[in-house]
Amino acid sequence: MPGGIAVPSPNLPSFENIPASIILREMFDRADIGMALTDIGTRRFLRVNAKLCEITGYSERELLNTTAIALTHPEDRTADAESFEAYVRKETDLRVIEKRHIRRNGTIIWVHTTTTIVQLGDVRCSFGITEDVTERKAAAAALEAAERRKNYFIATLAHELRNPLAAIRNSSMLLRQLPQADEKVKRIHDIIDRQSQNLEHLVNDLLDTARITAGKITLDRNYVGVADAIHEAIETVHHQFSANGHQLSLSLPAQEISVYGDKLRLVQIFVNLLTNAIKYTSAGGHIDVSTTADEQETAVTVADTGIGIPPERVPYIFNLFEQAAETPSGMHGGLGIGLAITKRLVELHGGSIHVRSLPGLGSTFTVRLPRADRRVQRGQREVVVCRSQARILVVEDNADVAETMALVLRERGHEIRVASDAASAVSIAEAWPPEVFLVDLGLPDIHGHELVRQLRRSDATADAYMIAVSGYGQPSDIRASLAAGFDKHLVKPVDFDALNAILDADRRRG
């Protein structure tokens, strides 16, 4: 009938006279997922289907003579029972749990079970649907293991790179201090210094990548002036602006704007955005940095006249290892981790980051951060010169790092001895008690933590100022060093201005 309801053919089977119980029983028995009815009090099986028998390896008769508890792995029984009892007590609509079962042949499988309470006449029982998820769990475990291995490799690689990096940075500093160095030596020093800084940024990015994926990045929060953080970021990449002939414009509000955050991480955010703009903007291009604010938030915008981002890549530009195909110079864009780290750091500060871009028309990145009420005073960075000579024992097994560190410290007026392991450090300290120890934690004979414990027990060195030096610098690493007896924990390569400040202001003086 045109426009009407189709009439079923009289040859099609009719289900009107088939009892619903028969239909449900057939569905229960033939379902391709494990099903069971169990007694709520005893958890004894009342009815099971063929798929549950297949999953568990037991026959129907065997299952009907046992309980759901008996199938559960002994280590999971307590949690399973507590979950079931809480579910029955609260009479919630559904209970979902993943646990281990022991099959009839003794093998262990993972199952995903969904349970609900049903009323069958006068009988109140539990109806469960069980799925074998062993393969999924194994695949997830394999992925987690691979992720842990990757993070461990990245962290270890970054740590191992810190020793050669420390030697290079120390040597660069010594070159800068050479009296009457000719112009060629100065140019070589500038190249070494710039490239070692770039290498240090890469090492830090590698470590941050591992920390991001492991969820281990933490912030050392305080009230921070946004302008201070921006100026420090610009200072950090100043040599890149000069080398590429980029024109920088800076627009900041007249009044100070502050946020509650980690200054080092805020500077890192802006350094990453500026570095990205420099990398993808042709020589002589423009980069504009501007800041606006309202009562709730602060917005910092970094805009460039670079090559832009293809529209299909914009949604993924903050993903790890995502990057533009090549820079304007035709070089590869890098590791593709800077923007992913930036996004995570912004989010940790309670903010957001967005990008607008079109190919050939540049990119505009906008960071929005919650505004803080407390005003902060602008700070100025200055090189700190230690005004007092100190007797320092450098305990370091890497000969190049030890030698260059000793040379830098001697140039700054300190009296230095060097030990390559803990045993020689103890021996030197007995004959020549130092005022300050700089101790590498990864010594060849014992860990640096154990060395400092020994030194603290000696009358000759108990009151010395002890500084841990390590390639690891997570809050947990710092806490472990302080708990062992160190006064400070520095990360390689050592910032000698920071070290001077420690020696000048914090060092114990008999």
Evaluate whether 418 touches 402 at the Cβ level (below 8 Å): yes
Residue (of 31, 33, 29) closest to 47 by Cα position: 29
Residue type, 218: T
Distance (Å, rounded) from C-alpha 213 to C-alpha 321?
13
Residue ranges of the chain with per-residue pLDDT less than 50: 1, 330-332, 376-387, 508-510
Q: Write the CA distances from 188 to 174, 180, 202, 401, 489, integer angstroms.
A: 12, 14, 21, 20, 31
Evaluate whether 36 touches 52 at the Cβ level (below 8 Å): yes
pLDDT for res 382: 41
Residue (of 192, 180, 273, 200) closest to 234 by Cα position: 273
Residue (of 124, 129, 69, 43) closest to 91 by Cα position: 124
Half-sphere exposure of 308 (CA within 13 A, CB side): 10
pLDDT for res 385: 39
Q: Which two tokens stand for residue 250?
A: 């800076």
pLDDT for res 300: 96
Residues 6 or more apart whose CB falls under 8 angstroms from that of 112 comprise: 96, 97, 98, 130, 131, 133
| Phi/psi-derived region of residue 450, left when phi > 0, alpha when psi is between -120 and 50, beta in every other case | alpha
Residues 6 or more apart whose CB falls under 8 angstroms from that of 224 comprise: 258, 259, 260, 261, 262, 263, 266, 376
Q: At what angle do helices 399-411 and 134-176 cross, to 10 degrees?
A: 40
In this structure, what DSSP letter does residue 122 have? Answer: T
pLDDT for res 114: 93
Evaluated on CA atoms 156, 161, 167, 171, the torsion sign reads negative
pLDDT for res 384: 38
Burial of 55 (0-12, 13-18, 19+ CB in 10 A): buried
Q: Which two tokens stand for residue 151?
A: 């993070």
Q: Write the CA distances from 467 to 273, 439, 484, integer angstroms.
A: 34, 6, 11
Distance (Å, rounded) from C-alpha 262 to C-alpha 412?
31
Burial of 192 (0-12, 13-18, 19+ CB in 10 A): middle
Domains and CATH numbers, the chain: 20-132 (3.30.450.20), 141-214 (1.10.287.130), 222-370 (3.30.565.10), 391-506 (3.40.50.2300)
Half-sphere exposure of 268 (CA within 13 A, CB side): 23
Distance (Å, rounded) from C-alpha 89 to C-alpha 69?
18
Output the DSSP codes for 152-176.
HHHHHHHHHHHHHHHHHHHHHHHHH
3 state SS of 215: coil
Rounded to the nearest angstrom, the gap between the alpha carbon of residue 268 and the centroid of all alpha carbons in its chain is 15
pLDDT for res 14: 57
Distance (Å, rounded) from C-alpha 21 to C-alpha 25?
6
pLDDT for res 509: 42
Q: Which two tokens stand for residue 55?
A: 């999953």
Distance (Å, rounded) from C-alpha 450 to C-alpha 485?
9
